[in-house]
């Protein structure tokens, strides 16, 4: 197995292993350190020695040995060694058991604020760096590092178990938001040389399916799964031969994943049929309208505009307001969309997407010079290379014209 394949396998197994160790031994911080050491050992040994018969069990037992060594060095050595010796070795459990959901719900502990739960889960379950999580939250990296550190110190897990339905329901909002952010980071990376991180989006879809299997009648769970599938279905057409970004209007729709679209549309219809709707259901309905259009010109923009209006009133999210401005421009003209961007300057200060949308609408309005200036400003602010190259190319095209 190649190093890249091993790296993918370790990323897939990491949350499962951490969930098993935390569930068995209760010390989140120590378990995370031990699992990181086990992952490092695997990365060093597996390329040359080959994969063990049970990679997950190998990682768990290696992490357990690291924990045992750590316990030996502490003051309560005898008591802790006896406790470790008497516990069941989690690596002996059936391989099909997946502790990712246990870890996910654990990170959304009621003792933590929702923001801390989300940050800790993105770190522990998804393996995102502090910088990537900070970008998802639109906060400085140092602020996010402190938030994660405080969450690790505060959470003291003992006797972990899957919560009953009432307990799970109290944490569901944080769990869904975590999965939403995780998918978004995979679908459009906040930084780096790649537009996508398919490992993250794939993991978000996998874990969301686990939650959906537990709560198949829950509209927002169903809506979130539908949203992920509908967006991910367009991924094959979002980049060109050399990894360059291709916007939605210019994508070859024959490359879209029609099976994922069909499942997403079906789930959306189910999610929207239950009466009250939430933000993920509305976003799924918008994505379904985009995916159902055979051509960009066939997009039902009036209906999309109505859904974005509902979504903005429900969430107050400035990124939703940004998309509402685009939909408004498509229905009522670019000037109407530009008028909606003015108050967003204070809510999204310095955000590259605001400049990018303004550039797009100014180009629609027939002001190529101002549009190019905004594209250049957006390019200077985005840390994602394919986005930066696309925005730079847009500015150059307008300057050349």
Residues 256-286 have pLDDT tens digits of 999 999 999 999 999 999 888 999 999 999 9
pTM of the model: 0.79
pLDDT of residue 365: 97
Residues 6 or more apart in contact with residue 49 via CB below 8 angstroms: none
Q: In terms of residues, how long is the chain?
A: 401
Whole-angstrom distance, CA of residue 242 vs CA of residue 239: 8
What is the domain partition of the chain in residue ranges? 216-299, 321-401
What b/e readout covers 3-34, taking b as 16+ CB neighbours within 10 angstroms?
eeebeebbbbbbbbbbbbbbbbbebbebbbeb
Q: Where are the alpha helices (DSSP H) in 272-367?
A: 279-292, 301-315, 318-332, 334-341, 344-347, 352-365
Residue listed under structure tokens 């009432």: 166
Under CATH, which architecture does the 321-401 domain have? Alpha Horseshoe (1.25)
Cβ of 400: how many Cβ atoms within 10 Å?
A: 8
Average pLDDT over residues 183-198: 85
Residue listed under structure tokens 């394919």: 386
Cβ of 298: how many Cβ atoms within 10 Å?
A: 8
149: its two tokens: 């550190």
Q: Which of 239-243, 289-293, 327-331, 351-355 has the lowest mean pLDDT?
A: 239-243
pLDDT of residue 247: 96
**Is a pLDDT exceeding 60 seen at residue 320?**
yes
What b/e readout covers 299-329, taking b as 16+ CB neighbours within 10 angstroms?
bebeebbebbeebbeeeeebbbbbbbbbbbb
């Amino acid at each position: 197995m190649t190093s890249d394949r091993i790296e993918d396998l370790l990323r897939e197994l990491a949350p499962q292993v951490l969930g098993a160790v935390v569930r068995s031994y209760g010390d989140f911080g120590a378990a995370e350190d031990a699992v990181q050491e086990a992952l490092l050992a695997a990365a060093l040994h597996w390329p040359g020695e080959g994969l063990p018969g049970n990679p997950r069990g190998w990682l768990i037992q290696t992490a357990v040995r690291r924990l045992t060594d750590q316990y030996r060095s502490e003051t309560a050595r005898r008591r802790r060694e006896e406790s470790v010796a008497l516990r069941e070795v989690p690596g002996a459990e059936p391989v099909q058991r997946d502790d990712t959901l246990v870890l996910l719900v654990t990170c959304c502990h009621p003792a933590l604020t929702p923001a801390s739960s989300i940050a800790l889960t993105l770190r522990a379950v998804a393996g995102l760096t502090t910088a990537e999580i900070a970008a998802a939250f639109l906060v400085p990296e140092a602020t996010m590092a402190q938030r994660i550190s405080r969450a690790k110190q505060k959470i003291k897990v003992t006797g972990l178990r899957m919560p009953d339905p009432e307990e799970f329901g109290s944490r569901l909002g944080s769990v869904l938001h975590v999965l939403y952010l995780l998918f978004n980071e995979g679908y459009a990376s906040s930084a780096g040389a790649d537009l996508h991180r398919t490992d993250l989006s794939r993991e978000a879809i996998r874990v969301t399916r686990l939650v959906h299997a537990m709560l198949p009648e829950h509209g927002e769970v169903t809506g979130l799964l539908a949203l992920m599938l509908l967006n991910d279905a367009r991924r094959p057409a979002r980049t060109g031969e050399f990894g360059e970004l291709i916007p939605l209007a210019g994508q070859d729709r024959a490359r879209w994943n029609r099976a994922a679209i069909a499942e997403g549309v079906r789930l959306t219809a189910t999610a929207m049929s239950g009466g009250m709707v939430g933000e993920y259901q509305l976003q799924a309905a918008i994505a379904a309208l985009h995916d159902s259009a055979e051509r960009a010109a066939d997009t039902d923009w009036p209906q999309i505009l109505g859904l974005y209006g509902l979504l903005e009133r429900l969430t107050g999210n400035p990124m939703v307001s940004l998309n509402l401005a685009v939909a408004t421009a498509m229905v009522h003209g670019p000037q109407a969309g530009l008028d909606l961007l003015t108050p967003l300057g204070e809510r999204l200060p310095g955000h590259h997407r605001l400049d990018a949308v303004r550039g797009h609408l100014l180009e629609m309005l027939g002001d190529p010079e101002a549009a190019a200036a905004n594209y250049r400003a957006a390019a200077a602010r985005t840390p994602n290379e394919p986005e930066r190259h696309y925005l730079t190319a847009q500015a150059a095209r307008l300057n050349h014209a």
